[in-house]
Structure formats: structure tokens, C-alpha cells
């Protein structure tokens, strides 16, 4: 899933460590509050409803309400700090990328496509921002919820958990296959988008020439061909995602039916209380909800990984023309400057001017 470029993006968190730590802490509290609720519901059902104890019901309702309020507050803080963190990283990354493009040598710009650079500064940076804002936070949340839910499932009933774990593993394998298939598609889609932007940019700049030679129809055909390629790749990726999600829902529903069947038998046999069965079922949903969330996360990580790879391809390009160590800046030039026996070229395979000589006069 493009771990290398993604890890390089995460290094930008060091400049925003307060926001990153705050968002992660809020996520821990929010997720922990969510995991506590089924346990509290178990107490309300077993001690309050079945035990006919109104005080236990009232106490449970008050505690659950307090937990829900705490979860809402920290969910807001997590969302706010997450958005601010993603915006800050995107802001600095965009500035660094644009500044580097400005400083790259003419030979690079002579070969690079303007539309590709435009896509990297805008669309690819937006993909990374979306990953930090949604995908990265969702990934952490999914891992915390899955780990916590499985722990609570084991504590509630080991036998039922043994039924659930193989199903969870099957779902994770399906998502792993989806990620392996989807990542190359997202990389190719970003490449095609860059080519499409380059084509549009070049044609709009040369629209007068196109009009002068009555080539509008031909240029429209060329655009339609590139647009069709971009369309087909995105539709194919969408089809794969559209197949995976219903399959996961089907598997999760099957696991729910198995838990109700096996858990109901244990309740009738006296091995499990009704409250424990309800808590187990709630924790099971909290296990599969993050797994379903991972589908969106995998898509976000794949897209962001493709975007990050394209961004760092530009940032890793060395500037060919550099000032010599100790070079000074010319200020207030008087008289003239003569260039004698100067070789001018920016392609390794050839040169444009040999033994170039001229004199530049300055009148100030």
C-alpha cells in the first residue's frame, strides 16, 4: 500500500506534534468510551431489567448518558484537530512542492508536462490531505476498535469468540486482496489524470492555432480518447469496490446469525446471560464496523500512496544548476559584463551555443 511514500508524509507530523498527539489522545478516549457502552448495557439488562432493580436501571442510564456525552466531546476534538493537522501538512507540502518546482532547472521543465505538475501540486496533495483527515484517523480508530472489541469478546465468551475469529480473518484477507488489486489502478488513474490535464493545458494555450487550422474536431477526438481511458480505469476500480463491500456485509450478517444461534443455545443451557449475549453481539458489530471501515481506509491509503509517490518523484529531483560555494551576488553593476568562450547547453546529448560571446552594458 505504498508504505514508503506514506511514511515520508507522516514525517511532516513532527512540525505539528501537538495536533497529532491531541487528535490521537481524543481518538483513544472516544474509542474507549464506545467500547464501554456494551458492558454497561449488559449490567442494565442483567441486574436491572431481569433482576427487576429500578435503581440499577437508573444508575446504568445515567452512566451511559455520561459516557455518550464524553464520547461526543472527544469525537469533536478528534475531528477538529484531525482537520487542522491535515490542512497544515497539506499547506507545507504544497508550498515545498511549488517552491521546488520553481527552483528546478530549465532542462527538467523542458521535458516535464505542465499538466502533470499541476496535478501533483493540486490533486495529489488533496489526496494526502484527505488521507490524513479521514483515512489515517479511521485506520487508527479501526485498529483500536478491533483490538478492544476482540479483547471484550474473549472476556465475555471464549467459545463464541472462536466462531467469530475465522470469519474476521476471512474478511481481512478479502480486503488485503482488494488492496493489492486496487493500488495499481489508483496509480494508473492519477497518471491518466495528469495526462488529461497536460492535454487540456496545451490545447487551451494553443487554441488560436487550433482555430486557425480548423482542427477543433480532431482535438475533440483526441480529448475524448484520453477522457475515455480515465473514465474506464475509475469505473473498473469502482466495480471492484462495489463487489467487496456487499460481500463483507454478507459475511458479517452470517456471523451475526451464528452468534445468535450458538449464543441462544448457551443462554438456554445457562452458560450465558441475556445481558452477556447482547453485549457480545454489540461488541461483534464493533469488530465488523472497523473492518468495513478498513475498506474505505484501504482505498484512501492506496490513493494517497499513489499521490505521495508522484509528489516525491518531483521533490527528489536534484537541481542541476547550482551556485558554486561562496558565490556572491552581483549588486549595482557599473560598466559592462563580457561573456567570453561560454558553452551554453542544458541537454547532456548536445549543446545549443558554442563559443558564445557577447557584452552586456549597464547604464546604472
Q: Per residue in 124-168, pLDDT tens?
A: 888 888 888 777 777 788 888 888 888 888 888 888 888 888 888
At residue 358, the pLDDT reads 56
**R_g of the chain computed on alpha carbons:** 30
Q: Grade residue 1 by pLDDT with cuts at 50, 70 and 90.
A: very low
Torsion, Cα 93 16 302 300, to 10 degrees, reads: -110
* Most confident region among 205-219, 230-244, 312-326, 340-354 by mean pLDDT: 230-244
Structural contact between residues 363 and 335, judged by C-beta atoms closer than 8 angstroms: no
Global pTM reads 0.67
CATH class label, 3-315: mainly alpha
What is the mean pLDDT of the segment spanning 337-347?
A: 67
- The better pLDDT of the pair 345, 75 is held by 75
Residue 351 has pLDDT above 80, yes or no: no
Percent of the chain having pLDDT more than 90?
Answer: 4
| Distance in angstroms (rounded) separating the CA atoms of residues 318 and 314 | 9
| Distance in angstroms (rounded) separating the CA atoms of residues 176 and 1 | 10
Q: Grade residue 76 by pLDDT with cuts at 50, 70 and 90.
A: very high
β-bridge partners, 361? 336
At residue 140, the pLDDT reads 81
- The better pLDDT of the pair 81, 321 is held by 81
The phi and psi torsions of 276 (rounded to 5 degrees) equal -65, -40
Percent of the chain having pLDDT more than 70?
Answer: 85
Break the chain into its structural domains and give their ranges: 3-315
Please enumerate in sequence order all residues whose Cβ is within 8 A of that of 225, keeping only pairs 6 or more positions apart, or say none: none
Q: Which of 39-43, 254-258, 332-336 is the least confident region? A: 332-336
Q: Grade residue 360 by pLDDT with cuts at 50, 70 and 90.
A: low
Mean pLDDT of all residues belonging to the chain: 79
pLDDT digits (tens, 9 = 90+) for 180-230: 777 777 778 777 877 787 787 777 777 777 777 777 788 888 888 888 988
Which string of DSSP letters, residue by residue, matches 86-146? Answer: HHHHHHHHHHHHHHHHHHS-HHHHHHS-HHHHHHIIIIIHHHHHHIIIIIIHHHHHHHHHH
pLDDT digits (tens, 9 = 90+) for 263-275: 888 888 888 888 8
Number of H-type helices and E-type strands within the chain: 11, 2
Amino acid at each position: 500500500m505504498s508504505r514508503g511514500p506514506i511514511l515520508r508524509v507522516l514525517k511532516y507530523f513532527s512540525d505539528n506534534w501537538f495536533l497529532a498527539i491531541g487528535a490521537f489522545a481524543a481518538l483513544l478516549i472516544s474509542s474507549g468510551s464506545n467500547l464501554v457502552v456494551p458492558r454497561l448495557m449488559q449490567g442494565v439488562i442483567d441486574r436491572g431489567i431481569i433482576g427487576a432493580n429500578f435503581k440499577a436501571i437508573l444508575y446504568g442510564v445515567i452512566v451511559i448518558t455520561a459516557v455518550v456525552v464524553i464520547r461526543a466531546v472527544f469525537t469533536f476534538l478528534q475531528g477538529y484537530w484531525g482537520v487542522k493537522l491535515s490542512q497544515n501538512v497539506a499547506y507545507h507540502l504544497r508550498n515545498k512542492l511549488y517552491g521546488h518546482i520553481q527552483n528546478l532547472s530549465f532542462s527538467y521543465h523542458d521535458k516535464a508536462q505542465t499538466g502533470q505538475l499541476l496535478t501533483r501540486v493540486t490533486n495529489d496533495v488533496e489526496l494526502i490531505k484527505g488521507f490524513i483527515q479521514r483515512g489515517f484517523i479511521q485506520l487508527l480508530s479501526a485498529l483500536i476498535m478491533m483490538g478492544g472489541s476482540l479483547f471484550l469478546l474473549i472476556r465475555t465468551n471464549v467459545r463464541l469468540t472462536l466462531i467469530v475469529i475465522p470469519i474476521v480473518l476471512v474478511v481481512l484477507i478479502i480486503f488485503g486482496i482488494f488492496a493489492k488489486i486496487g493500488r495499481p489502478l489508483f496509480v494508473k488513474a492519477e497518471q491518466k489524470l495528469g495526462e488529461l490535464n497536460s492535454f487540456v493545458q496545451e490545447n487551451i494555450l494553443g487554441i488560436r492555432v487550433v482555430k486557425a487550422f480548423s482542427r477543433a474536431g480532431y482535438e475533440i477526438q483526441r480529448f475524448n480518447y484520453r477522457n475515455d481511458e480515465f473514465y474506464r480505469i475509475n469505473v473498473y476500480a469502482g466495480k471492484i469496490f462495489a463487489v467487496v463491500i456487499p460481500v463483507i456485509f454478507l459475511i458479517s450478517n452470517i456471523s451475526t446469525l451464528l452468534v445468535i444461534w450458538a449464543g441462544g443455545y448457551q443462554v438456554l443451557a445457562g452458560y450465558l446471560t441475556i445481558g452477556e449475549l447482547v453485549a457480545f453481539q454489540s461488541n461483534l458489530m464493533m469488530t465488523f464496523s472497523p473492518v468495513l471501515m478498513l475498506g474505505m481506509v484501504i482505498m484512501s491509503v492506496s490513493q494517497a500512496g499513489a499521490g505521495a509517490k508522484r509528489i516525491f518523484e518531483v521533490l527528489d529531483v536534484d537541481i542541476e544548476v547550482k551556485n558554486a560555494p561562496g558565490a556572491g551576488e552581483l549588486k549595482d553593476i557599473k560598466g559592462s559584463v563580457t561573456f567570453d568562450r561560454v558553452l551554453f547547453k542544458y541537454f547532456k546529448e548536445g549543446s545549443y551555443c558554442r563559443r558564445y560571446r557577447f557584452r552586456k552594458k549597464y547604464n546604472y
